[in-house]
């Protein structure tokens, strides 16, 4: 059988790309397509080498597992060991589904040649048919994911930016109907953000305070220019006795996709992760949306 390196590379590039997209769709992960493409390129390069029996050290189970791990690390942002294991498991699961689809092509459409060696697919098939088949598999998994997650309102996740002293911190934030925290002094709504996402906004002298929740000395707050911004927000949660969260008043909060920009808001800080898969890193307060409705309506009328 004659194997064309360029065809082998392109076939596995397309398959790996759509497999990674399907993983992201199934797990509801927001990810950059460029990273997925880079991971697919690595997988395709590995496939070029693993296809040749002379390089037998590259198609051992350990080598394949390491290669899969590299593809995952390139394609996705890893948040924890558990997150990595979930990604790897779903990567293999969807790879099996794609492999079954390839065999279905051979059975129903009978392409002239289909060969799988060391887990790498090579077939004499038109590029258009390959793209359509891979895209079809991705669409099927994407639709299944939509049905499976039909009770999860991903539309409630918004791109959010917090501004302070000319610096912006961007993150994805979930509109949390259970978050009714407000500042007891001013009544300003409170959002909660992961410390890692807003660390760059906090003066270095206060980062220990915001990371651990240990209150800072007033003199330190004044020296950092945070004495008028600093707040302490009491909270209670189910199954917990509650506690307090350090917070600050930003210059403004921008919620993209909802046309919301407000200054009357506080940002409480937590060192805990809110999402295992990293799909969101902050919890929005619905009061922000209710307060913004009259402003949005007024702006809309002024444009007419």
Task: Profile the chain (304 residues) by mean pLDDT over runs of 10 residues.
Answer: 67 82 76 85 80 65 84 84 84 79 62 52 59 72 62 66 93 84 85 93 91 85 88 70 83 86 91 80 86 45 43
Do 253 and 169 form a contact (C-beta atoms < 8 A)? no
Give the Cβ contact number of residue 70 at 10 Å. Answer: 14
Kindly report the pTM of this predicted structure: 0.50
> What pLDDT does residue 153 have?
44
* Letter string b/e over residues 35-54, b meaning 16 or more CB atoms within 10 A of that residue's CB: bbbebbbbbbebbbebbeee
| Annotated catalytic residue 156 | no
Chain CA centroid to CA 236, Å: 28
Contacts of 254 (CB under 8 A, 6+ apart): 160, 161, 162, 163, 260, 261
Return the closest-CA partner of residue 164 out of 229, 103, 215.
Answer: 229
**Which is the catalytic residue, given 156, 176, 251, 264?**
176
CA distance 126 to 123: 9
């Amino acid at each position: 059988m004659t194997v064309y390196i360029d065809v082998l590379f392109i076939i596995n590039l397309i398959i790996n790309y759509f497999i990674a997209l399907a993983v992201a769709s199934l797990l509801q992960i927001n990810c950059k397509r460029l990273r997925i493409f880079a991971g697919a390129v690595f997988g395709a390069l590995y496939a070029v080498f693993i296809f040749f029996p002379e390089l037998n050290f590259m198609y051992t189970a350990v080598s394949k597992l390491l290669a899969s791990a590299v593809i995952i690390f390139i394609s996705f942002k890893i948040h924890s060991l558990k997150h990595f294991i979930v990604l790897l498991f779903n990567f293999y699961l969807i790879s099996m589904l794609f492999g079954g689809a390839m065999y279905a092509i051979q059975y129903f459409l009978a392409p002239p040649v289909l060969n799988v060696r060391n887990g790498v697919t090579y077939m004499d098939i038109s590029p258009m048919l390959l793209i359509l088949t891979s895209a079809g598999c991705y669409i099927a998994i994407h639709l299944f994911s939509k049905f499976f997650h039909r009770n999860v309102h991903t539309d409630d996740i918004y791109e959010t930016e917090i501004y302070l002293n000319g610096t912006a911190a961007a993150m994805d934030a979930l509109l949390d109907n259970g978050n009714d925290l407000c500042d007891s002094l001013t009544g300003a709504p409170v959002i909660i953000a992961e410390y890692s996402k807003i660390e760059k906004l906090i003066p270095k002298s206060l980062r220990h305070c915001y990371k651990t929740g240990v209150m800072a000395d007033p003199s330190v707050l004044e020296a950092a220019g945070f004495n008028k911004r600093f707040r302490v927000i009491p909270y209670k949660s189910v199954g917990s006795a509650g506690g307090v969260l350090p917070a600050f008043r930003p210059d403004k909060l921008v919620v993209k996709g909802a046309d919301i920009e407000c200054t009357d808001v506080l940002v409480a800080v937590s060192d805990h992760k809110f999402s295992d898969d990293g799909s969101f890193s902050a919890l929005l307060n619905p009061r922000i949306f209710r307060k913004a409705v009259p402003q949005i309506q007024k702006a809309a009328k002024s444009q007419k």
